[in-house]
Amino acid sequence: MTTIKPAADLAVRAAIAARTEALFRASGAFREGHFLLKSGRHGDAYVEKFAVLSDPAATSELCGYFAASVSGQAGAPGAPGEASVAGRTAPPGAAVAGREAMTGATAAVPLSSRVDLVAGPTTGGVILAFETARQLGVRSIFAEEVRGADGAAHREFRRGFSIHPGERVLLVDDILTTGGSLLAMIPAVEALGGEIIECAVMVDRSGGRAALTSPVTGRVYPLRSLWQLDLPTYEGGAATCPKCAVAEPLYAPGSTGTGVATAGA
Ligand SMILES: [Zn+2]
């Protein structure tokens, strides 16, 4: 080990983060404006992950970074210098929107066969698991949310999906916020005897978690993100929200994806 390797890793992670941001912006998955969020608070940026998942080329490229991280490839995007022009167009006021980081330690990696399968949670994780597994040449499965007799929700591999004891599993998902869907995946994999090698997400909005702890066994698994994104939210009103202060129309993104313009709050 030399001191050059960590510096190179950081450069690769920064390039991947910039490229991920650029792909989210280009597909319309990352938008800036004045948004009424589900929480009732206001935001000046909004992430609609299905905009990027509906772009096969972008999704395939992002899954390539997941695959590269477990197959020992460096995985730097594009030609040298490309990352310096990708993204980074955020105007003043959105300064905290793009904090690049590939979280999680880079382990000494054998060149191939670090994973036997890729697993993800419904719905976005199905697409990501499929494409990542396709690139790695392994199989892909997904877990669905089901309710037990007590009414509590958990995730379960159904449809005949199996994990053989000791098989090495890469867990993938789109956006990590509270970590809920990935945390629910972990016991489902553990119950079948799978060995989770790494958890990987496209965007980490959790504030930079580096690991996920199994709620059942207490085991800690490394978490890797392509892009770390911290978006501020504001109480509505000219005194608290910068977009309200300049009377920018408020937009309420809807589940239809079309959004509903509303009067400024
Ligand atoms: Zn506002």
Predicted confidence (pLDDT) per residue in 41-77, tens digit:
999 999 999 999 999 999 999 999 999 988 876 566 7
**Distance separating the N- and C-terminal Cα atoms of the chain:** 56
Work out the average pLDDT over 152-162. Answer: 94
Whether the model pTM is above 0.85: no
Q: How large is the average pLDDT for residues 167-178?
A: 94
CA of 31 to the centre of ligand 1 (A): 15
- Alpha carbon of 261 to ligand 1 centroid (Å): 13
Domains and CATH numbers, the chain: 4-261 (3.40.50.2020)
Kindly indicate the confidence band of residue 3, based on its pLDDT and cuts at 50, 70 and 90: low
* Amino acid making up residue 200: A
State the distance from the centre of ligand 1 to the C-alpha of 42, rounded, in angstroms: 5
Find the 247 Cα to ligand 1 centroid distance in Å: 8
Q: For position 77, what pLDDT does the model report?
A: 73
- Rounded to 5°, angle at Cα 255 from 251 and 256: 90
CA 265 to ligand 1 center in whole angstroms = 6
DSSP 165: T
Question: For 201-255, how does the pLDDT look when each residue is reduced to its tens digit (9 = 90+)?
Answer: 999 998 888 899 999 999 999 999 999 999 999 999 999 999 999 999 999 986 5
Question: Whose CA is closest to 194, among 111, 119, 107, 112?
Answer: 119
Backbone angles phi, psi at 74, to 5 degrees: -70, -45
- Residue-wise pLDDT for 13-25, tens only, equals 999 999 999 999 9
CA of 35 to the centre of ligand 1 (A): 7
12: CB partners within 8 A, 6+ apart: 74, 75, 76, 102
The partner residues of 11 in beta bridges, in order of sequence, read none
Please say if the pLDDT value at position 258 is more than 70.
no
Distance in Å, CA 39 to ligand 1 centroid? 13
pLDDT tens across 113-126, in order?
Answer: 689 999 999 999 99
Centroid of ligand 1 to alpha carbon of 87 (angstroms): 25
Q: Cα of 38 to ligand 1 centre, how many Å?
A: 13
243 Cα: distance to centroid of ligand 1 (angstroms): 5
Would you say how long the chain is, in residues? 265
Residue 1: per-residue pLDDT: 52
**Token pair recorded at residue 35:** 């948004």
pLDDT of 256: 52
Question: Ligand 1: distance of its center to the CA of 179 in Å?
Answer: 27
